[in-house]
A = this chain, B = another copy of it.
Amino acid sequence: MQLPKFLWMADRLAPGSTIGILGGGQLGRMLSLAAARLGLKTHVFDPDPDAPAKDVTAFCTTAAYTDEAALKAFGNAADVITYEFENIPTAALDILEPLAPIRPTREALRISQDRITEKDFLNSLGLKIAPYRAVDTLPDLEAAMAEIGLPAILKTRRFGYDGKGQARITNTSEAPSALASLKGAPAILEGFIDFSREVSVIGTRALSGAVACFDPGENVHENGILATTTLPSHLTSAETQDAVLLAGRILNALDYVGTLGVELFVTKIGLIVNEIAPRVHNSGHWTEAACTVDQFEQHIRAVAGWPLGDGSRHSNAVMENLIGDDIKTAPDTADAMVNIYGKAEARPGRKMGHITRISPKG
């Protein structure tokens, strides 16, 4: 009788085991490289034959997320399954679930796939968030504007990233065009937050339940896309403690295993949670240059059932995203840690790489 794999998954994965990664973009690529340093193999699943992560592993599958046979073969080849993005179709997860443990859990995915579910969850923890209302129709939107007030931001409930699927409303007359811009997708109206800064906390929870958070970084966005993350942030030490504790509460409440990103607004009434991402996060890329163990390795350690590593920060850091043609001069950068994602085409607005400059903590 063949023992089901989950029986021996109670222990940590041995080096040489295989971590299945759903999604082969830059996050999957960096997860794969982190796994490699720990002696773990990875198997990357992505419909795109040119997905960047496929260059850095011997094992990959090119198939649609609806391809049952491909998913089954992938699930059988993996000792544990993780993912680099939150919008994995539920049907794919149904096929994979009996074959290998999925970490982080499906519950974390379910909650973060829909902005309403996510806000409800954060609300249930008593965390401060922006006022919000579900919006499907123009009357919904008008009622929501009346309750929340303007300015406000209309967003799609699902599949939004890097400022896509969003429209700011400052005047009620803009409501119809804002709604039309979302092309009928279910939406959410969020009250506008008057914040002084944006920060994020990247935290990891081990299979044992142990939690470790990296120092909060301060983010600057340009055109809806993260431009820089700077460490240390301008948070007071009390705010830093608040930020880390609330990330820990989210991780525990989700019975989470892996790395999670929490975006926060710093306001006069304290820290407001903007959104969570159940995966490694762009605002945590600085950790590869300024910590012994980075967010990618922490994630791999967690999903492999290993103890978390030392994520303390040895240096100050400024991470700068390389967007579109920014990548052209990256090879000439000699005074920083350079990371180039291996994407063939440098389209405008596309994340092509990042660089991190460190300096002594002083």
Contacts and interface: CB of A to CB of B under 8 A. Distances in A.
A60 B38 CA distance: 21
A309 B292 contact: no
A63 interface: no
A344 B17 CA distance: 11
B15 A340 contact: yes
A38 B292 contact: no
Contacts of A339: 37-38
Count of identical protomers in the assembly: 2
Given A16-B344, A58-B56, A314 B37 contact: no
B340 A38 contact: yes
A327 B293 contact: no
Contacts of A37: 33, 338-340
Of A54, A55, A358, most buried by chain B (CB within 10 Å of CB) is A55
A26 to B, nearest CB: 10
Of A334, A335, A344, most buried by chain B (CB within 10 Å of CB) is A334
Nearest to A346: B15
Contacts of A342: 15-16, 36, 39-41
A256 to B, nearest CB: 19
B330 A15 contact: yes
Interface string A314-353: 1100000000000100111011111111101000000001
A334 B208 CA distance: 14
A310 B330 CA distance: 14
Nearest to A15: B340
A57 interface: yes
B38 A338 contact: yes
19 contacts: A14-B331, A15-B327, A15-B340, A16-B344, A33-B33, A33-B56, A37-B340, A38-B331, A38-B339, A39-B330, A40-B342, A41-B55, A55-B58, A56-B58, A289-B292, A304-B331, A306-B331, A309-B337, A314-B315
